[in-house]
Structure 1
Amino acid sequence: MKTLNLTRHTLLACAVTLLVGCGGSSAADTAALTTTATTAAASVVDTAPASATVIDNTTASATTALTAAETTTLLFVREEEKLARDVYLTLYNRWGTKVFQNIATRSEQQHLDIMGNLIATYKLQDPVLDNTIGAFTDPVLLGLYQDLVMRGSTSLNDGLHVGGFIEEFDINDLQEAIDEANAGSKPADIIAAYTNLMCGSRNHLRAFVGQIENNGVDYQAQVISQATVDAIVNSPEEQCR
């Protein structure tokens, strides 16, 4: 479990470093963002629980016993979806660009609810204790939310690049989660949910890249490979379940 968390949070810290290049930040800004993500990542890895707290939920029924790593990932993805929703709603309020509102309200909220239902099914303690925009249990995600909102508030182009970053990060993270589940207890419902969320992330990436390129800017990959990004944006929008 700690190895998986280290991989995820190290990637997050490195990706934030890449993100700051979108708007031409100063060296001081870059160092501050990187330090924030790296410090928070180390804190989460060191304090990662061996298992999640179980709650009494007599209406829920899970068919598979999750491993500790799968449980940690499920809880992380729940807040990760809240991160996307909250950043997009904040950037919509800043720029008034519909792509942020549409993805936040029509898709990310649905993804957040799907993960919440799975947490109830597996009788886990929901990390989303406060649904307020910008409230997070995971300090890594709290720091990332603040960094992304700061970056996305610089210009509309930076905001759209923040959207691209979030979706690339989600695609990478969800594939890791699927691989973990397939190698572990193989929970069919969770794997199906992750697959559906990743389908949505590919569509969102298409939307953000389309907006960026319509503004005359060539989009450069921020987390996953350029070849993977190109393959996604050059293929038709998908019908996700």
Structure 2
Amino acid sequence: MKNVVFLLAGVLLLSSCEKGGPLDTGQGNLTQSLAAVQSSVTNLPLESLDPAERERILFIREEEKLAYDVYQTLFDRYGVKIFQNIPNSEMSHMEAMLSIIKKYQLIDPMDKNPRGIFTDPALQSLYNALVSQGQVSLLAAYQVGAKIEELDIYDLNKSIAVTNNQDVKLVYDFLNKGSRNHLRSFYKNLTNAGGMYSPVYISLAEFTAIVTTPTEKM
């Protein structure tokens, strides 16, 4: 029965994704993709979570807030469209993680924290450093975007490796695909502006494989 439910959830998500374009191309596609993920999370079985799984879920939820907050701040600084569009996608990532948090009755680390305030001290320090770096120039801001997205990919891959829960993996895969698309977008803007970027968190092979392939359909 579990496999049947999982298959139905997968069909629902695939059907939704085939109708839309890349995740960050429009609010309609974002809403549709997020709704499909949330429906799948609801329909998949409730499974046990060990401490490592719980820790990763809460961390990823707040790490997505970091991306959202940094991009909003950089949009305020430069008014460049990419820093307005991609936060819409980051919001869908936060909402997808919230659906897992609510399902498993975890305490949301974000609560009502305003922009730039984080429960995790490491994320707080990282936010401060990234905003400072991004304020230097628009080129530096694009580099910050690329750095955030490859960090997200790195942490999502770590998170996927420590869970067997179908619903949690489904959400992580959703986030990972979006992060790969965001990395492609930032890298394109960066190189078009004459900048360069070397990966910090993921391997050069993985980075190259992402930025040299087309945008993935959500």
TM-score (norm 2): 0.78
Match of 1:85 among 68, 71, 74: 68
Q: Pairwise mapping of residues 4-153 of structure 1 onto structure 2 (< 5 A)?
A: 63-105=46-88, 107-153=89-135
- Determine the C-alpha separation between the residues in 2 that align with 1:217 and 1:85: 23
- Determine the C-alpha separation between the residues in 1 that align with 2:205 and 2:78: 30
Of the structure 1 ranges 211-220 and 92-101, higher mean CA displacement relative to structure 2 is found in 211-220
Task: Give RMSD over aligned pairs.
Answer: 1.6
Q: Which residue of 1 aligns with 2:147?
A: 165
| Structure 1: gaps (5+ residues) | 1-58
- Determine the C-alpha separation between the residues in 2 that align with 1:97 and 1:110: 20
Higher relative contact order (CA 8 A, sep 6+): 2
* Structure 1 runs (4+) greater than 2 angstroms displaced: none
CA distance change for structure 1 residues 133 and 62 in 2, over 3 Å: closer, same or farther? farther
Aligned residues: 177
SS of the residue 1:64 aligns to? coil
SS of the residue 2:162 aligns to? helix
Aligned-residue offset at 1:131: 4.0
Q: Which residue of 1 aligns with 2:193?
A: 215
Aligned-residue offset at 1:230: 1.2
| Structure 2: gaps (5+ residues) | 1-41
TM-score (norm 1): 0.71
- Determine the C-alpha separation between the residues in 2 that align with 1:70 and 1:110: 21
Aligned-residue offset at 1:143: 1.0
Alpha carbons 1:160, 1:212 under 8 Å: kept: yes
Of the structure 1 ranges 218-227 and 191-200, higher mean CA displacement relative to structure 2 is found in 218-227
Q: Which residue of 2 aligns with 1:199?
A: 177
Aligned-residue offset at 1:62: 6.0
Between the aligned residues of both structures, percent identity stands at 45
